[in-house]
Amino acid sequence: MKNLLKDIIPDRLNQPARFAEVAQRHLNAIAWKRQDYIPLGIIVDNPDNLKGISYGQWLDAGVFYQAQAKILRDTLSVGSDYMPVLPINQLGNVLIPTMFGSELLVPTEMGTTIQEQGPCPRPVIGTIKAVDDLRLPDMAAGIMPDVTRIITAWREWVPSWTKIVTPGSVGPFTLATLLRGADFFMDLIDNPERCGKLLSLCAEVQVQVETYLCGLVNEVKCLPISNFGVFSRGRRMGDDTIINLAPDMITEFAVPYIETIARQLGPATVHFCTLAERRADHVFEPLAVSPHIAMASTQFGFEYYEKNVDQLEGRLAVESFYGEGINYVVNKYGSFETWAKDFVPRFKHRSGLILYFNVDSVEEGKRCWEAWQAAHQS
């Protein structure tokens, strides 16, 4: 079994010079250093790799290692701007909530990709007043022992040139809403002081958890690569719920606590979900103001970038295009190739943008990658 797991990712896919080049492209984009190129990662997520897997196995280290290793093997075969990572995606956002005692609703069926769905934590804070008695959990609480076991096993199997990405980190505001539930939005109006106390606690526990997990994967401070193979300056965190806040409330209740984490773990990349019909463009400016937030990550951020690149330059980079992004441009332009020929020549000299998306096969990935290179020659 152990040898089988080790053999999934062949050493011929190890290209250290290429990976160093990709990392530099990512860092240049985040820092707005012009390089006449827009980094693009293409993740091959063949649905066949998830056949026979259910969420009843969500804490089985071997099952999900095999799935992620096959995804990485196929992805590296395309050769795009993707760092070699094995992400522990199947845990969703539940790690820290379970450390506070949250019960979980675990789905019965897998989505088409591992990160599409995951266990859902139930709120554990009954009233905002209960925050007064809330204390930091220790590193053996909740499912942390299971996560430790998974990481320990993965370290045995993973090639030395591949990074294990620890379970996805959520932003402090989203963590607070997971712990308190939707009532937290009313608490912001009725009891902002206790909300601030909860948000501070969320930021503090996140730093402790990240530090502990990074130690497990032999990183000194923070793993500077996201679960989507993008090199960064600090930790990527998902803060989807901030789209429900007005800009001034994002500035008051989200940004300061993200900054608390970023001061200790490095400039943050903040993710928030967007759809074609729901762009949440109001989130960008409050993030751009902060010197501790390096990048906004959102599916349709590439169109916000397209319209506002002058305002973003030197302030906030954009990571984008995943999710429904590629389907949107195919429907709008007729094909990925047509969109790339239009988009790339206009923005390849500007920097500040990193794109990635998923395809179903190596063949499709190679076709898109060739089109991307050709667009840069225009």
pTM to 2 decimals?
Answer: 0.94
Sign of the C-alpha dihedral computed for residues 355, 359, 363 and 364 taken in this order: negative
Q: Exposed (0-12), middle (13-18) or buried (19+): which is 156, by Cβ within 10 Å?
A: exposed
The CB density around residue 314, as the number of other CB atoms within 10 Å, is 11
> Token digits for 193?
């002081």
Q: Do 38 and 45 touch, CB atoms closer than 8 A?
A: no
Nearest to 342 by CA among 315, 365, 372: 372
Dig out the tokens for 64 from the structure: 């999900």
Residue 165, strand partner residues? 87
Tens of each residue's pLDDT in the chain, 378 residues: 455 577 899 999 999 999 999 999 999 999 999 999 999 999 999 888 888 887 778 888 898 899 999 999 999 999 999 999 999 988 888 999 999 999 988 776 666 565 556 688 899 999 999 999 999 999 999 999 999 999 999 999 999 999 999 988 899 999 999 999 999 999 999 999 999 999 999 999 999 999 999 899 887 667 788 889 998 888 899 999 999 999 999 999 999 999 999 999 999 999 999 998 888 999 999 999 999 999 999 999 999 999 999 999 999 999 999 999 999 999 999 999 999 999 999 999 999 999 999 999 999 999 999 999 999 997
CATH number at 2-376 = 3.20.20.210
Please, what is the average pLDDT of the chain?
A: 92
The residue written with tokens 């897997």 in the block is 53
Residue 166, CA atoms < 13 Å, CB-side half-sphere: 28
Distance CA 301, CA 279 (A): 8
The residues with which 295 forms a beta bridge, in sequence order, are: 269, 317
The per-residue pLDDT for range 184-213, each reduced to its tens digit, is 999 999 999 999 999 999 999 999 999 999
